[in-house]
Amino acid sequence: MILADNNLTNIQTYRKRPHFNIGILIFGVILIYLVVTVFTYLTSKHVSVYEVREGSILRDTAYTGLVLRKELVVAAEAAGYVNYFSPEGSKVGARTDVYTLSGGKLNFSETGADGQAELSADEQNALLLKVQSFSENFDDAQFRDVYTLKDNINNVLESKSSRSRQAQLEEMLAKKQNGLQVYKAASDGIIMYSLDGFENTEVTDVTEKMLSKENYKTETMANNTSVKVGAPLYKLVTSDTWTLVISLSDDTAKELTERKRVRVKFSKDNQTERADFEIRRVSGAAFGILTFHTSMIRYAKERYLDIELILEDESGLKIPKSAVVDKKFYTVPRDYLTQGGNSKDTGVLIDTGKDAAEFKKVDVYYWNKEDDTVYLDPLAFEEGIVLVRPESSETCPLKRTRALKGVFNINKGYAVFKQIEILCESDEYYIVKAGNDYSLTNYDHIALDGDTVTENSVVF
């Protein structure tokens, strides 16, 4: 018989001492830090950086304009067959032989009086240089240059033909063939051998229909053609001053109301000229009147010209509009600035009462040379501060404020306001003046959105 021992069944379990795990603590701290950092990053405003670079803004508008000049139409003094001495587009004087009249057609040889029809070596070289220059600089987007080359070649050939014809006419005159009669120019000017009906048109006569080229025709005079007494033979452009009339939209006319001078680029040869400018309204339509005083001979053959009216063309530092903010500053006469103690720091003297003044270092944000005032940051002063003029008893309370346009420069890791002078603008960018001591320089870094930072705020 076996006896059971009750003490053997009374078993008690003891709790273990808690063991401190430093690894879990470190992990928890890091986890909390990461959560806070991510939350702060997601909820805070982010400062995007923009690098300032040099740039330009060109804003122009294309137009087709009607050319008006002082033109004198010369009629035939007698009947007969006409032949011309001077090439079209050349300048003639009042004593220049311009044309002859004869009883019948004249027979001109293909060679000429000296038997030489070919171009001279100089003429050939000139043509080769023009063709080579065209070939090297041709751009598909500027196909009109082909017509410019064509005109240049035609001018050389016409000049050669004219000299040959003139030599033969002089030979015929010496032999008194066909009863030739020589007539001189009616006046000084540029001679043209075409008529289009606009010779006597004034600026006040221009209509929208005229600018549209609708039913536009020209009549060209030719050698060895029969003319009657009083028939038009040629015309002379008698003044270097000429006018180009363009049609303007109401918005453009409003924008250019105050303009007196404009820049114009001619599509024919890519030349740029300046013109006197005014706006005239006729029957509700707005016309731009561009008056030139040079270059008439280049476009003497043209009645209509394609142009680009350059409204803005500025170069400087290019910055986005989103970076620009307005900030108010105290304005103080510049002679209130001084240097403190043994340092070269620029500052002002603050009136502390009892005929005492305390020097305070300040940053000058802008110097307005027109009224000789400097702009100081209001955040650098307490309210009610009074400044003392150096070496004087005169005082200036800090009350007057003005706003400046500027951006926040973040080159040093914190935001510093920099004043800007806007030259022109597009939809998204400003062109601002470079070289200002208180403004930006090329390659500066600024806040892309000026509203996301404040003065002296740290930017990572």
**Domain map (residue ranges) of the chain:** 72-236
Is the Cα dihedral 244, 248, 251, 257 positive or negative?
A: positive
Reply yes or no on whether the pLDDT at 72 is more than 90: yes
Q: Which residues lie below 8 Å from residue 419, measured CB to CB, with a gap of 6+? A: 365, 366, 375, 404, 405, 406, 436, 438, 439
pLDDT for position 157: 60
Average pLDDT over residues 236-246: 94
> What's the pLDDT tens digit per position in 179-198?
788 888 889 999 998 899 99
pLDDT value of position 233: 92
Q: Give the pLDDT band of residue 241 (cuts 50, 70, 90).
A: very high
Nearest to 31 by CA among 21, 20, 42, 23: 23
Amino acid at 154: N
Among 67-81, 141-155, 276-290, the least confident range: 141-155
Which of 45-59, 321-335, 436-450 is modeled with the greatest confidence?
A: 321-335
Give the confidence band of 44 by pLDDT, cuts at 50, 70, 90: low
Whether pTM exceeds 0.75: no
Mean pLDDT over residues 276-293, rounded? Answer: 91
Query: Across all residues in the chain, what is the average pLDDT?
Result: 83
The lowest-confidence range among 9-13, 22-26, 257-261, 275-279 is 9-13
* 148-167 tens-digit pLDDT: 666 666 655 655 566 666 77
**285 with 226: CB under 8 angstroms?**
no
Quote the percentage of the chain above a pLDDT of 70. Answer: 82
The pLDDT assigned to 301 comes to 87
Q: At what angle do helices 144-175 and 121-137 cross, to 10 degrees?
A: 170
Q: What is the pLDDT of residue 112?
A: 44
Q: With 80 as the cut, is the pLDDT of residue 79 above it?
A: yes
Mean pLDDT throughout 386-403?
89
**Which two tokens mark 264?**
């114009």
Mean pLDDT of 390-405: 89
